Structure 1
Amino acid sequence: MMKQKIKTPNWAKNLTIYEVNLRQFTHGGTFKEFSEHLPRLKELGVGILWFMPIQPIGEKNRKGTLGSYYSISDYTKLNPEFGTLKEFKSLVEKIHKQGMKVIIDWVANHTAWDHHWTKDHPEFYSKDEKGDFKAPVKDWEDVIHLDYGNPALWDTMISEMDFWLSETNIDGFRCDMAHLVPTLFWNRARWMLQKTKDIFMLAESENHDLLEYAFDSIYNWKLLHAMNETAAQKINAADLLTTVQNELEYLPEGAAHLNFTSNHDENSWQGSAIERLNYFLEPLSILTFTIPGIPLIYSGQETGNYRRLKFFDKDEIDWKADKMTSFYQKLNDITKSNEAVKTGELKPIKTDAPESILAFGRFTENDSLIVFLNLSPKDISFYVECGKLNGQYRNVFNDQAFEYNCHELFSIGAYGYLVLVKG
């Protein structure tokens, strides 16, 4: 198995990432207004705030009224709709004072049609047979493809990334469609940027090669797809557990998956987490927080947001609902306080209902985590394997003592769960 050669910053381990869709977050969609949410996000228990692209959006071939975040017209400027550089620097400082970190989205594969490089550096772009700029793929008509066959592009792009580290003191990057850009570029970028400060880098990709020298974490899309199939009752609990184990088995040592039930792409194009997962949302969310990896919460998920947010137009989140804040707080609490959740290896627990009950434990010398998820529409009673698991635990969701006894029948209601911790 490949071993990760880079060193993930200690602060980045076991922190929940919160994806910030700034334009939809408040009425004005500004840095100033967003800062009012910082105490709430701190209380929610998240540790890293990932901002979708904060740069200006191209006007040529723009989609919708506001355009795509991912059609960038200048890498080192700010979208004036969000605020000024001074306001963003102030926001980063406030986030750090709350004990949280900041990463920003980086779109290295393409730019807007009216990016200033189209005039200053047309050689940075791929061309069609007529010598004209071209979109990367058919559906992305609002952007044009960069040509990484040009070494000068590498140095310029890395310099633009370093601007944000040096000028604003952010803590890293989430890199859009990272697998569409040469791995060697990312390796060089990490090496160069690391000279400025210790950073965390997340790749929107499943490519394990990116983890050796460039990225700390990649997307766990296979898990997401398996959870969607579980909710559609196309696969069962045993199948889902197999997916979890397979993905962990092939992950390079030292690296981490990003585990999620939603993000901006899934919400806008495939459906909100509630729309896709329905009654399975809570047990599957628990899965993403309790298996090894980094959990993600998308803007508004903590409210129990039931709808798709518009991607190219204004569509403010309704913060009045507060259906799942306590749920996510409890999950964030154990990811930070329980050593088994931080470092324990995943160990499946055998039951006599494997098609309905997904069961596993994670253990360290002093701490334990045991998870039972009923991934069926029926109440299930079941027996569990014996071993060294018997004893007193705390039920995470009602904070009461729980006596684990393998000789007694366990019962969990439809779509229910039991999460136990010790230590």
Structure 2
Amino acid sequence: MKRRVLSLILVPFLLFYALPAGAVEKEERKWQDETIYFLMTDRFHNGDPSNDFEVNVKDPEAYQGGDFQGIIEKLDYLKEMGFTAIELTPIFDNEAKGYHGFWIQDFYKTEEHFGTIKEFKKLVEEAHKRDMKVILDFVVNHVGPNHPWINDPKKEGWFQGKQPLNDNGEENPDLPILNTENPEVKEYLFDAAKWWIKKTDVDGYRLDMVQQASQPFWSEFSKEVKSVKKDFYLLGEGSNNNLQNISKYDDNGIGGFVDFPQAEEMRKVFQKPDVSMEGLFHYFDQNQSLFEQPHLMGTIIDNHDMNRFTSLIVQNKQFPGTRWKLALTYMYTVPGIPIVYYGSEIALNGGESSDNHRLMNFKTDEELIDHITKLGELRQDLPALTRGTMELLYEKDGMAVFKRNYKDETIVVAINNSSKSQQVTISSDELEENKELRGVLAGGMVKEENGDYSIILDRESSEIFALAEKSGLNLSFIGALSAVYIIFLIFIYFVWKRGRKKRKDTK
């Protein structure tokens, strides 16, 4: 009881201190304000055992029970971590052992292991009730290896060869590549894409390997889907790391693209300490020159096609939680839309192929989840993190400081990716005179002294600062708060006195 009362007394003080002064007024939500959780339906959560046929959790290539109902049951879990959207690997009807969703058999049916279309519609409705958006992986370039179209004489001209699903081609059957220049193929894909929007009210598509279709195809595709839902988000994923080639598709209605080059650099920088961060800070400048809306780029650390970031950390004999915190702080605070692969919040491990599709485990340490939750809150509360300009203020020996500016809001991010404490002095010329930096991630404060801000960070740690007016004693606030506490204490006294009288009366 004493602990609870103490917490009630302290909460107003903590809230007053934590909120940055002069924050920008909340504006209409845009796609660049989203934070996306990317999951593989079969490997996330089993909510409906009735569809668990041919399920074998000991076989990494078999279905393991995840379904739409399981996602519904975990929406609050995702919402509480600050995620505003979920992205799903393909949910369409697949061939045997197509747990990942990429061996599509029928574009108009859901995979029966995942649930019915009615259950998927319920998933979208439940997400929307929580103000969360839903993005589907929509594959236009291939179908399953044994699709009936292959031997259908009426579908002659629908295909243009075969290629492996991914780099581990020896473990996967060749996939028939659709001829997206064929008018009948285009009509089929456009109709299917629109049908899912009309039927389920999904909010966006991730487009696999955009370079396997032409620019005119994507222009038509974009026009068709946005005729159904205007603010429909299209996230393109290229087949290589050359953003200059992928940027050719920027004028074809695709909102943003998965930023693989930056992901590779993040994985190199943050898998162990004492690695220079200099290379990271070229990407926003590059994206600004290549893309019309660089804030809509998809920022990732890993995904379903890559060895998990945790595996790189373990190889370097580092503690995963510490390394993940630094990488996530960077990813959440630079321009772009963070896309967090399921299991990252528990530092799930995994190597090549299906090993990085391990079943999710919800019974783990909360420390990394708490860090993600705080980052998610800050992205929603501080528009500079989603809409602001970016400027590097300092980078040396694994320590970096950069600022984000939007209107009257200035946010300063400091990341110490080194094995020792670091002190960095930032001139008020780079910020403003007679202000202070309030730590909104871990706490703490840096006041301007003699024209400088001296930022000190422990080894392998990070902080996000809000630039604010120098704080002092707010006598009116303290007086009002004191009056509230006096009334509160009087109330507690009378409750205690009444309880004592009742105990006497019952003796």
Same fold (TM over 0.5): yes
Q: Which of residues 112, 117, 125 in structure 1 aligns to 2:159?
A: 125
| 2:144 is the counterpart of 1:112 | yes
Counterpart of 1:363? 405
| 2:252 is the counterpart of 1:213 | yes
Q: Structure 1: which 5+ runs fail to align? A: 1-8, 60-64, 128-132
| 2:327 is the counterpart of 1:280 | no
Q: How far off is 1:201 after superposition?
A: 0.7
Instruction: Show CA shifts across 1:67-125 (max 9, x none).
Output: 54211111111100000011111111111111011110011111112324322524211
Counterpart of 1:203? 236
Instruction: Show CA shifts across 1:167-202 (max 9, x none).
Output: 111111001111222121111011011111121110
Q: Which of residues 351, 354, 374 in structure 1 aligns to 2:416?
A: 374
Q: Which of residues 90, 96, 99 in structure 1 aligns to 2:131?
A: 99
Please, what TM-score do these two structures have when normalized by structure 1? 0.86
Asked whether the equivalents of residues 84 and 131 of structure 2 are also in contact (C-alpha less than 8 Å), the reply is yes
Counterpart of 1:334? 378
The one-letter amino acid of 1:379's match is S
| 2:279 is the counterpart of 1:239 | yes
Counterpart of 2:463? 418
Counterpart of 2:338? 295
Asked whether the equivalents of residues 103 and 173 of structure 1 are also in contact (C-alpha less than 8 Å), the reply is yes
Q: How far off is 1:48 after superposition?
A: 1.4
Counterpart of 2:75? 38
Q: How far off is 1:314 after superposition?
A: 7.8
Asked whether the equivalents of residues 298 and 338 of structure 2 are also in contact (C-alpha less than 8 Å), the reply is yes
Q: How far off is 1:162 after superposition?
A: 0.9
Q: Which of residues 168, 172, 175 in structure 1 aligns to 2:207?
A: 175
Q: How far off is 1:313 after superposition?
A: 10
How far apart, CA to CA, are the structure 1 residues paired with 2:183 and 2:208?
A: 20
> Which SS does the other structure have where 2:143 is aligned?
strand
Q: How far off is 1:398 after superposition?
A: 2.6
Q: Structure 2: which 5+ runs fail to align? A: 1-27, 47-64, 469-507
How far apart, CA to CA, are the structure 1 residues paired with 2:277 and 2:156?
A: 52
Query: Aligned residues: percent identity?
Result: 21
Max radius of gyration: which structure? 2
Aligned residue pairs total 402
Which shifted more, 141-150 or 39-48?
141-150
| 2:367 is the counterpart of 1:323 | yes
Q: Which of residues 160, 180, 183 in structure 2 aligns to 1:148?
A: 180
| 2:426 is the counterpart of 1:392 | no
Asked whether the equivalents of residues 442 and 463 of structure 2 are also in contact (C-alpha less than 8 Å), the reply is no
How far apart, CA to CA, are the structure 2 residues paired with 1:407 and 1:313?
A: 46
Pair 75,222 (structure 1): closer, same or farther in 2 beyond 3 Å: same
Asked whether the equivalents of residues 58 and 73 of structure 1 are also in contact (C-alpha less than 8 Å), the reply is yes
Question: Counting helix residues as a fraction of each chain, which structure ranks higher?
Answer: 2
The one-letter amino acid of 1:284's match is A
Pair 275,70 (structure 1): closer, same or farther in 2 beyond 3 Å: farther
Instruction: Show CA shifts across 1:37-84 (max 9, x none).
Output: 11111111111111111012223xxxxx55542111111111000000
Counterpart of 1:20? 39
Counterpart of 1:5? none
Please, what TM-score do these two structures have when normalized by structure 2? 0.73
